């Protein structure tokens, strides 16, 4: 069975935070297919289905984020300079909060931890983020045990 990986895109996302995980799952799929095993299908999704412009101006095609109750194997929350504006987008935050319980696993990359923390996903958990933002994460989300030097 092909496993679905959904990378949540938003304006100002860091390209590496999307491309890195995408390439890892694509590489795993290639290795699995060589063994006759189905792998992963990775897609970038945005709240309105429009292309996602990164903080450096690269643009990635995106599908509209699916019904949040649709099962997902891996939900990836990337970071980037746009993450703080994304946190103010109630449509996006509400979608993430509704989708997370239906994902087998939720992963944040770098400052994507702010998105996970905002919906309470990291409450009571040990977490980290980009070193320049660990103090902010700890200050804004005291229920999260922030590790500044994992």
Q: Which residues pair with 108 in a beta bridge?
A: 77
For tokens 């945005």, what's the residue?
46
Containing structural domain, residue 73: 3-120
Question: 44, 110, 121, 137: which is the annotated catalytic residue?
Answer: 110
Is residue 8 situated within a structural domain?
yes
Instruction: Return the CATH number at 71.
Output: 3.40.50.880
pLDDT at 150: 87
| 125 part of the active site | no
pLDDT at 1: 84
For tokens 């200050």, what's the residue?
139
Is residue 67 situated within a structural domain?
yes
pLDDT at 82: 98
pLDDT tens digits along 91-127: 999 999 999 999 999 999 999 999 999 999 999 999 9
pLDDT tens digits along 9-48: 999 999 999 999 999 999 999 999 999 999 999 999 999 9
Q: Give, rounded to a whole angstrom, the gap between the first and last alpha carbons of the chain.
A: 34
Is residue 129 situated within a structural domain?
no
Residue 56's pLDDT band (boundaries 50, 70, 90)? very high
Q: Is 49 left (phi over 0), alpha (psi -120 to 50) or beta?
A: left
Is residue 69 situated within a structural domain?
yes
């Amino acid at each position: 069975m092909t496993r679905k990986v959904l990378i949540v895109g938003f304006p100002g996302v860091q390209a590496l935070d999307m491309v890195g995980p995408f390439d890892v799952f694509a590489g795993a799929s290639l290795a699995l297919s060589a063994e006759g095993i189905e792998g992963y299908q990775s897609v970038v999704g945005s709240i309105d289905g429009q292309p996602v412009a990164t903080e450096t101006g690269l643009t990635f095609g995106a599908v509209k984020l699916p019904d949040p109750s649709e099962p997902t194997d891996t939900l990836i929350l990337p970071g980037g300079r746009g993450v703080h504006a994304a946190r103010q987008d109630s449509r996006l935050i509400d979608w993430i909060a509704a989708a997370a319980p239906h994902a087998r696993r939720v992963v944040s990359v770098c400052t994507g931890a702010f998105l996970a923390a905002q919906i309470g996903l990291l409450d009571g958990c040990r977490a980290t983020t980009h070193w320049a933002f660990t103090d902010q994460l700890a200050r804004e989300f005291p229920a999260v045990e922030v590790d500044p030097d994992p």
